[in-house]
Amino acid sequence: MKHLATILTLLVITALLSACSDSPANTFQGYGEGEYVYISSPIGGALKEIHVTRGQTVQQNASLFTLDQDFERAAVKKARHELQAAQNNLANLEKGKRPSEIATILARLKQAKASSALAQIEYTRRVKLISEHTISQEELDRAKSDYDQKSQQVHEIASELATARLGARSDEIRAAAAQALQAQAALEQALWNLNQKKQNAPQAGLVFDTLYRAGEWVPAGKPIVSLLPPSNVEVIFFVPEQLVGSLSIGQKAEVIFDGASNSILTEIYYISPSAEYTPPVIFSSESRAKLVFRIKAKPKINDAHLLHPGQPVDVTIPALSP
């Protein structure tokens, strides 16, 4: 298309420089053009199916093509399993010990309390006996030591029970939570890769061309479908240097072409800041007549389908009427 535009530009410039004296002073030659939207996938793969054909008009979000997705589906399945495992591990750490383990610790605590209570009774009895000089001081000391040990054991098991009910340590829980978030991000990335293998139309437009066929390998980033939205259709024409200063952005221009019953109204949105053709001599009053400037105008959305890229047109600017 770039070669076609170059050829058309040269033809238009040549026609302008050799225009007949009976051509209206406010009518200029040009051609239809389009700014194409090239749709591709950022991930390469075999083209499984293409859902559109050349010349077809599609609506926004219409399915355009699908690449093979087997690898990406497997990656999504793996990521989902890893996320489930990470979430289960986090939940397990937050719950603490299982009910059966808690029950075992409670039983040990109950036994330790009973032993401590018995040791207390034995110690109290020996305190009374030592005052009656019935037992030795050594026997009393052994009873006191046994009672202290049993009491300490009660405290230890009670602390173990409290820890078991709290669950894992806070730093372990935070590490497990971070692993769960990492697994969630990996799943989102896998889903994004899967979705990129199927592309939809970003906006309504004409399917100008399909560049691959089903079964072919498509490298990452290579366009598969080119769209021409109505808003991207335009008319390019050229005006002499003497008239370019009379034009302004937003100015109306009427376009006529072969087979058209009525002209199409367009609006100028671009005026080239430099000349398209510069002769290899110092500018003079004669050489300035050879300078032409590129002008771009857009039709209304409803009229865009009437124009085709490369189509020769005549553009009339009513404001330049003598």
Each residue of 26-36: pLDDT tens digit?
A: 899 999 999 99
Mean per-residue pLDDT of the chain:
84
CATH architecture of 2-37+230-320: Beta Barrel (2.40)
Contact partners, residue 322, CB within 8 Å, separation at least 6: 25, 26
Confidence (pLDDT) at 282? 42
Residue 63 CA to residue 39 CA, distance in Å, equals 11
Q: Is the pTM of this model over 0.85?
A: no
SS3 state of residue 300: coil
96 — pLDDT class (breaks 50, 70, 90): low
CA atoms lying within 13 Å on the CB side of residue 68: 12
CB contact at 8 A, 52 and 64:
yes
Residue with tokens 């052994």, as numbered in its chain = 142
Confidence (pLDDT) at 84? 95
Confidence (pLDDT) at 13? 47
- DSSP class of residue 133 equals T
Confidence (pLDDT) at 154? 85
Bridge pairing between strands 312-316 and 27-34: antiparallel
Bridge pairing between strands 264-275 and 252-256: antiparallel
Q: Averaged over 175-197, what is the pLDDT?
A: 95
CA 320 to chain centroid, in Å, comes to 48
Could you give the percent of the chain with pLDDT greater than 70?
85
Confidence (pLDDT) at 322? 65
DSSP string for residues in 125-149: HHHHHHHTT-S-HHHHHHHHHHHHH
CATH architecture of 40-67+203-228: Beta Barrel (2.40)
Confidence (pLDDT) at 202? 95
Using the predicted structure, report yes or no on whether residue 195 has a pLDDT greater than 80: yes
